[in-house]
Copies of this chain bind each other. A is one copy, B any other.
Amino acid sequence: MNYKKQLEEYFKEVDIRCVLGLSIDCVIFGFYDNQLKVLLLRWKQTEEWGLPGGFIYKNESVDVAAQRILEERTGIKELFLQQFHTFGEDVRYNRQEISQKLSWPDTSSRQWPDRTVSIGYFALVDFSKVTPTADFLTDECRWWDVEKLPSLLFDHNHIVAVALRTLRVQLSWQPVGYNLLPEKFTMPELQRLYETILNRPLDPRNFSKKMRALGIIERLEEQRKGGAFKSPYLFRFNKEKYEKALQEGNLAFS
């Protein structure tokens, strides 16, 4: 079966099995080599890149659908995905242009409505723990520097920008490093993560003071050995205090 035929079959199945007019897009951030990356797919037989996304089965919650879609499209399993925004502009992109770029079959007989509202999810993952793999719709799946993204399909540049803004805002009140750093880390390592996401330098003394004032990380007696500099102390998140602070919804004013 050639690709165009496969696409036709895919669309047919989507119209029958899925919630019409709704989609999900996933922005997967990775942290590596002091760079913030985002995971993109290259659509089959094109040079066009976009986010991993898909549709919701009729009897499936959108949260479950987001997990399934991410796994089907990239091979990444059991990731903590967070819903961050629903994109509901009446015209999100030029449909005809997309259809041409991706050489889509004639879709005029589809049941799908004229507009699609997309629910955005994002996650921050340990770059080294995932092995992205392309699916039947795509030729390639790989990480891109957030600062050097190509022009993406649909409104995906906008979706990445909103996800990034959300991530930066959350950094002010949520220790996002929690899932991203090893169990034990040094203060400079934590600071580098924050600096990369915020894309600007932070003052080490202030940073350390503020992080410790949150009361959710604790200094261990161990030190990191073997570096060229003075051995820095190791820290870890106090999971209990962290969960409690999050539940009270109030890290900055604890």
Residues of A within 8 A of B (CB): 19-22, 56, 58-63, 65, 83, 85-86, 88-90, 113-115, 117, 119, 165, 168-169, 171-173, 194, 198, 202, 207, 210, 248-253
Contacts and interface: CB of A to CB of B under 8 A. Distances in A.
23 contacts: A19-B21, A19-B113, A19-B117, A20-B20, A20-B21, A56-B88, A60-B90, A61-B90, A62-B86, A62-B88, A62-B89, A65-B88, A83-B85, A83-B86, A168-B248, A169-B249, A169-B250, A172-B173, A172-B251, A173-B252, A198-B249, A210-B253, A252-B252
A54 to B, nearest CB: 14
Number of copies: 2
A20 B114 CA distance: 11
Contacts of A169: 173, 249-250
A248 B251 CA distance: 19
B19 A115 contact: yes
A59 B19 CA distance: 19
A62 B86 CA distance: 9
B210 A117 contact: no
Give 8 nearest A-B pairs by CB, closest first: A62-B88, A168-B249, A172-B252, A169-B249, A172-B173, A86-B86, A61-B89, A173-B173
B20 A22 contact: no
Contacts of A20: 20-21, 113
B172 A250 contact: yes
Contacts of A250: 168-169, 171-172, 198
A119 B117 CA distance: 11
Contact of A202 (B21, B165, B248, B253): B253
A191 to B, nearest CB: 10
A249 B174 CA distance: 13
A81 to B, nearest CB: 13
Nearest to A202: B253
A249 B86 contact: no
Contacts of A171: 249-250, 253
Contacts of A21: 19-22
A198 B115 contact: no
Contacts of A63: 88
Contacts of A22: 21-22, 117
A171 B254 CA distance: 11
Contacts of A86: 62, 83, 86, 119
